[in-house]
Amino acid sequence: MSTRHTACALTLLAVTASDSSLSAEQPRPSIVPIHAMTQHAEVLHGDPKAVGQAFVIRIRELPGGVIPPHRHPVDEHITVVQGTLYFGVGEKFESAAMQELKTGGYAFIPKGTTMFGYTPEAAIVQVHGIGPFHIQWRAGSQWRDRLRTLDDADAAKTFRFRKGEGVIAGRGKGRILQGYDSGEFIGYDIEGADGTLFMAEEKDLRRVEASAR
């Protein structure tokens, strides 16, 4: 977005905030330009957990990110606002079943549909729908309501690596920031030697030997 457009957006926000004709009960207009995200997800509008309430969220997908098979109890509208998402539906994670969704691409996924995806490079995906929004991760014949992570007390039973550990991936050396287990995929957030972030599956990682650090 240009400086001129940014200034216009800020002006509109200032006018909106000072308009006393908008009651506390009414939704307020908001303008949210695309920007670099520092968290995996951010809420732009509404409360995704609220029943019957419209919501909009943005999700940051890291380079090399695998989106394991999962489903939602509500219809999902997906728009790629930055980068490219490879996206598919079906009960099995299949690269051949994915379709390329470039910036501006849109997908409608009915509630209960199993979906999966992959982002070879960084992407930002915007999701909107009517709450309550929730994710269920497929784990074989069962479904999980949350991902297991390296923060779990019994993480060592699931993960080969731990936070801060040096690893070598296809994208180079880095250190583990976080790990995720969906029940079918185990992956890690990794900070590369140059400070960039990416993801990798556990099967594609090996430890950095102490003498090579």
CA distance 175 to 167: 6
Among candidate residues 104, 94, 49, 40, the one with its CA nearest the CA of residue 72? 49
Query: E strands of the chain, at which residues?
Result: 41-45, 54-61, 65-71, 76-82, 85-89, 99-101, 106-109, 115-119, 123-130, 136-139, 142-144, 148-149, 166-169, 172-181, 186-192, 197-201, 206-207
Tell whether 95 and 110 lie within a shared domain.
Answer: yes
**What CATH number does residue 178 fall under?**
2.30.30.30
Tell whether 151 and 200 lie within a shared domain.
Answer: yes
Last residue of a domain, one of 83, 116, 141: 141
**Which residues on adjacent β-strands are paired with residue 70?**
115, 137
The CB density around residue 28, as the number of other CB atoms within 10 Å, is 12
Tell whether 183 and 102 lie within a shared domain.
Answer: no
Tell whether 42 and 114 lie within a shared domain.
Answer: yes
Tell whether 117 and 152 lie within a shared domain.
Answer: no
Tell whether 70 and 165 lie within a shared domain.
Answer: no
- Residue 170 belongs to a domain: yes
Tell whether 120 and 184 lie within a shared domain.
Answer: no
Region for 170 from its dihedrals, namely left if φ exceeds 0, alpha if ψ lies in -120 to 50, beta otherwise: alpha
Among candidate residues 41, 87, 77, 91, the one with its CA nearest the CA of residue 62? 41
- Residue 178 belongs to a domain: yes
Q: Mean pLDDT in runs of 10 for the chain (213 residues)?
A: 41 37 63 92 96 97 97 98 97 94 98 98 98 96 97 97 97 97 97 96 91 55
- Residue 63 belongs to a domain: yes
Work out how many domains the chain is built from and give that number.
2
The per-residue pLDDT for 27 is 74
- Residue 29 belongs to a domain: no
The per-residue pLDDT for 15 is 34
The CB density around residue 211, as the number of other CB atoms within 10 Å, is 5
- Residue 85 belongs to a domain: yes
Range of the domain at 130: 35-141
The per-residue pLDDT for 107 is 97
